[in-house]
């Protein structure tokens, strides 16, 4: 048949056949009642379908919104070295591109869910009819009918409609599916489906599920593992449980058989895969550094900046897919955690059990389930947190229960305790009641490198490094001295170590200050007063400087805002470890202070930087071509809060605290360290703050509800060892490079005890040497002699001249001639 004759034939059939059908219909309409009834019924059905389609489809979500749909993704946190240290996620989600999904994995899902996916237009009529029949047969039984949904319909349900069980929702789903097919390609629909489908174990999408069930990426899955993932959409919370293992294997093998039937795999491959065990791994927590206090501070700041959920905006913490670079140094963090814990355990000593961590109510249900939902745990040696289920019995979150020994008789059901393996059971362990905090910072940038806000963040989220208000004690003194240096005093200024009393009014009477441990007397240099932490000298200095100047300096470095009372010069005001470390960091950075930060920058899911802590502008840094001018430079960061010379003088004096003062136990580290100890009345707090040019750290030990730590406790013997352990554990991170003096500082040899200038001798490495180098601002260094020394010298010279004159007169009389008096050479050194 020619092309022309074929065309003529089809035109003839198209025009002739409908005419014959219409003629038949007219001939039978009048006398065929069944035809008329069927026609009326069909017409009504069509009208109703059109009306339902128009009514249900009128207010449906716009399918085109899927073109801009973004998968809710968790926030990924990286440390200072770029390695992932944590993920903020309430669901496991990982977004992949279509090309990232293995072909066999796609084929497994098509075989399990929608084998005609690439040929239908969004709705599978056969599958829908089967679902309708199943719905009718199960109507009223309470049993849920099979869905009959295509992959496109599941995308419509999961992303646009929700999981309501009703005929109306199913019709809406079908309408939306046809619209989606007109908007997205098949590959785009599959990509959405495989990234969004809920698959159990809080996993959404196949990559997250592959990690949750097999601890693998999708590209590393074996065939039987891919088939297992493909069965999960039917019952995501069932097939992953051990009790339904046999059902899971039956369903997995069915999927493998379907893959064979669809010619996706060979029968041999299917048989080999069916012989494999499920191979599921135990549920694992997401990868995270042991830095709970640090990471919680990051989370809090991110929520303040971007919001928590998708309702708060595109870049929210739990759905925005942010990438966050932090300043967390995991090596320093581990050392900080271990150093603080070791000291808390050491102080706790043999005190044993000090009470339950928490108490659960047995009336509220299963105790181990309550414990699991409480998120209370511990990461220390082989300790575990459990709940007393009965006298002498302890239960854990995994449902296991053991005998418990070592607990007091007062323990009862519901008490949450720490325990360690002992024999065939567990023995109770005492979590230290005393607590404390540790924070380390880089002074040149303000980046917080490590933060430990207590024994373990799993026991409670209260961060003592940033939230606990404590009295800093003598660690405040360097800023009292800094105010004095700004007012004209020098490290060699003589200050009385004598009683200081102040009249407080008729109601309070007279207040007299004293040194820690009593004692006092004499006059000493400012350096000596700081090294030995003399309270009386500090109050005298504060009085001579003016308390207004003192509190202004303390406020300027960010420690706190206080009233001009002398007690604040001795550390009676409340502050935090974070503030104290940041203030000391300014001392180590020539008086320039950078705000403490835990976040370097934040990128959105597309890689764009949307937040930077260092907001300095670098004009010309991004020029396309070099303009021949000097290389662009960033401005200096931070703000100048102290005179650079004053800051260095304080650091130089505080090095003496380590060399021969109250922090002398750190001297054995043989590093150029500066720092100050602190002990508050009681004592209730023991402090140390200090460090090197690169790392400044601060720490305290004390009870959360302040009470006496014991008369023997001092900052040097309780907080100082924390710093020592921290440095010893990270010795490779500490250099022997000393602090560098800023311009305008003169290093002068003086006598350490008297503060007088020395011209003979050389300072040695002996910490107790009489001669030392001291830092002075220009024209403030001590003269060669004091006024009293000059007067005494002048008196001696006059007496010597008189004696010589008398001797000369006697000799001249004897010899008949007289000598000229010798020339008088005045001391060129100035006097004051």
Burial environment of residue 431 by CB neighbours within 10 A (0 to 12, 13 to 18, 19 or more) = buried
The strand pairing partners of 757, in sequence order, are 750
CA–CA distance, 634 with 619 (Å, rounded to integer): 8
Triad 207, 211, 212: Cα angle to 5°: 115
Residue 18 phi, psi dihedral angles, 5° rounding: -60, -35
Q: Active-site residue among 316, 474, 533, 692? A: 474
Cα 743 to the center of its chain, rounded Å: 37
Closest CA to 578 of 597, 551, 561: 597
Number of H helices, E strands in the chain: 22, 26
Cβ contacts of residue 715 below 8 Å, gap of 6+? Answer: 473, 474, 475, 662, 663, 677, 678, 679, 686, 687, 688
CA–CA distance, 824 with 803 (Å, rounded to integer): 15
CA–CA distance, 329 with 81 (Å, rounded to integer): 8
Residue 38 CB coordination number (10 Å): 11
Three-state DSSP state, 267:
helix
CA–CA distance, 64 with 204 (Å, rounded to integer): 22
Residue 585 phi, psi dihedral angles, 5° rounding: -60, -35
Three-state DSSP state, 777:
coil
Residue 565 CB coordination number (10 Å): 16
The string of DSSP codes covering 191-248 is HHHHHH-B-STTEESHHHHHHHHHSS-GGG--HHHHHHHHHGGG-TTTTTSGGGHHHH
Q: Active-site residue among 107, 111, 113, 377? A: 113
The strand pairing partners of 525, in sequence order, are 494
Cα 731 to the center of its chain, rounded Å: 24
CA–CA distance, 461 with 467 (Å, rounded to integer): 10
Q: Is 113 one of the catalytic residues?
A: yes
Cα–Cα distances (Å) from 423 to 385, 388, 402, 419, 746, in that order, read 17, 18, 11, 12, 67
Using H for helix, E for strand and C for coil, what is the string for 22-77? Answer: HHHHHHHHCCCHHHHHHHHHHHHHHHHHHHHHHHHHHCCCCHHHHHHCCCCECEEE
CA–CA distance, 399 with 788 (Å, rounded to integer): 84
The strand pairing partners of 328, in sequence order, are none
The strand pairing partners of 747, in sequence order, are 775
The strand pairing partners of 429, in sequence order, are 418
Cα–Cα distances (Å) from 732 to 115, 295, 421, 729, in that order, read 61, 25, 35, 9
> Is the Cβ–Cβ distance between 525 and 490 less than 8 Å?
no
520: left (phi over 0), alpha (psi -120 to 50) or beta: left
CA–CA distance, 193 with 185 (Å, rounded to integer): 12
Cα–Cα distances (Å) from 656 to 56, 484, 726, 755, 767, in that order, read 82, 18, 20, 14, 8
Residue 234 half-sphere exposure toward CB, CA atoms < 13 A: 20
CA–CA distance, 300 with 737 (Å, rounded to integer): 37
Residues with catalytic annotation? 113, 474
């Amino acid at each position: 048949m020619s092309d022309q004759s074929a065309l003529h034939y089809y035109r003839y059939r198209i025009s002739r056949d409908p005419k014959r059908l219409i003629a038949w219909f007219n001939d039978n309409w009048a006398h065929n009642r069944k035809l008329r009834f069927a026609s009326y019924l069909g017409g009504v059905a069509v009208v109703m379908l059109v009306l339902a389609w128009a009514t249900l489809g009128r207010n449906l979500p716009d399918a085109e919104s899927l073109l801009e749909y973004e998968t809710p993704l968790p926030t990924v946190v990286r440390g200072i070295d770029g390695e992932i240290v944590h993920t903020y996620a309430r669901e496991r989600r990982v977004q992949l591109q279509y090309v990232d999904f293995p072909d066999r994995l796609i084929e497994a899902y098509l075989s399990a869910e929608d084998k005609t996916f690439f040929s239908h237009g969004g709705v599978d009529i056969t599958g829908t009819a089967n679902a309708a029949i199943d719905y009718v047969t199960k109507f009223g039984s309470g049993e849920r009918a099979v869905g009959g949904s295509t992959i496109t319909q599941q995308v419509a349900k999961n992303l646009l409609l929700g999981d309501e069980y009703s005929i109306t929702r199913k019709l809406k789903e079908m309408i939306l599916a046809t619209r989606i097919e007109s908007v997205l390609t098949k590959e785009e629909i599959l990509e959405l489906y495989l990234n969004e489908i809920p698959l159990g174990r809080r996993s959404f999408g196949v990559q997250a599920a592959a990690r949750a069930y097999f601890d693998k990426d999708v590209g590393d899955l074996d065939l039987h593992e891919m088939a297992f993932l493909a069965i999960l959409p039917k019952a995501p919370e069932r097939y992953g449980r051990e009790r339904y293992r046999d059902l899971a294997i039956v369903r997995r093998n069915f999927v493998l058989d379907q893959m064979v039937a669809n010619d996706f795999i060979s029968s041999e491959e299917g048989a080999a895969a069916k012989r494999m065990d499920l191979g599921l791994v135990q549920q694992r927590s997401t990868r995270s550094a042991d830095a709970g206090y640090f990471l919680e501070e990051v989370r809090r700041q991110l929520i303040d900046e971007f919001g928590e959920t998708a309702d708060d905006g595109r870049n929210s913490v739990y759905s925005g897919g942010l990438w966050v670079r932090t300043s967390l140094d995991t090596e320093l963090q581990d050392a900080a955690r271990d150093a603080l814990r070791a000291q808390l355990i050491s102080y706790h000593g043999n005190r044993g059990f000090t009470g339950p961590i928490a108490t659960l109510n047995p009336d509220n249900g299963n105790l181990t389930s309550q414990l699991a939902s409480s998120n209370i745990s511990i990461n220390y040696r082989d300790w575990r947190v459990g709940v007393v289920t009965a006298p002498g019995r302890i239960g854990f979150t995994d449902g296991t229960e053991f005998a418990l020994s070592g607990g007091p008789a007062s323990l009862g059901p519901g008490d949450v305790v720490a325990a360690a393996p002992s024999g065939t059971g567990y023995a109770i362990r005492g979590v230290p009641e005393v607590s404390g905090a540790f924070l380390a910072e880089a002074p040149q940038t303000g980046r917080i490198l490590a933060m430990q806000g207590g024994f373990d963040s799993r026991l409670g989220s209260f961060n003592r490094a940033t939230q606990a208000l404590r009295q800093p004690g003598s660690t405040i003194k360097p800023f009292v001295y800094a105010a004095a240096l700004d007012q004209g005093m020098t490290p060699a200024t003589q200050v009385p170590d004598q009683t200081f009393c102040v009249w407080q009014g008729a109601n309070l009477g007279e207040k007299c200050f004293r040194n820690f441990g009593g004692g006092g007397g004499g006059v000493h240099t400012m350096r000596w007063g700081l090294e030995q932490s003399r309270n009386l000298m500090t109050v005298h200095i504060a009085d001579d400087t003016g308390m207004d100047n003192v509190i202004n300096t303390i406020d300027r470095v960010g420690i706190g805002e206080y009233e001009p009372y002398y007690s604040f010069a001795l550390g009676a005001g409340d502050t935090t470890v974070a503030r104290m470390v940041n203030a000391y960091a300014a001392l180590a950075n020539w008086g320039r202070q950078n705000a403490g930060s835990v976040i370097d920058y934040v990128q959105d899911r597309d890689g764009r930087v949307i937040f930077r802590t260092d907001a300095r502008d670098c004009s010309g840094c991004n020029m396309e071509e070099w303009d021949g001018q000097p290389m662009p430079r960033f401005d200096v960061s931070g703000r100048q809060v102290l005179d650079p010379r004053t800051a260095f003088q304080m650091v130089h004096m505080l090095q003496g605290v380590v060399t021969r003062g109250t922090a002398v136990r750190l001297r054995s580290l043989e590093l150029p360290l500066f720092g100050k100890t602190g002990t508050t009345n009681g004592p209730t707090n023991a402090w140390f703050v200090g460090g090197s040019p690169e790392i400044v750290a601060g720490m305290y030990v004390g009870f959360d509800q302040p009470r006496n730590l014991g008369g023997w406790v001092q900052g040097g013997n309780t907080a100082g060892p924390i710093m020592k352990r921290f440095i010893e554990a990270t010795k490779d991170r500490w250099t022997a490079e000393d602090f560098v003096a800023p311009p305008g500082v003169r290093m002068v040899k003086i006598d350490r005890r008297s503060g007088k200038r020395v011209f003979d001798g050389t300072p040695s490495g002996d910490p107790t040497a009489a001669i030392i180098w001291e830092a002075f601002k220009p024209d403030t260094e001590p003269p060669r002699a004091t006024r009293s020394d000059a007067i005494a010298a002048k008196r001696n010279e006059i007496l010597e001249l008189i004696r010589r004159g008398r001797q000369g007169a006697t000799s001249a009389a004897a010899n008949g001639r007289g000598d000229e008096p010798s020339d008088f050479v005045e001391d060129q050194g100035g006097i004051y």
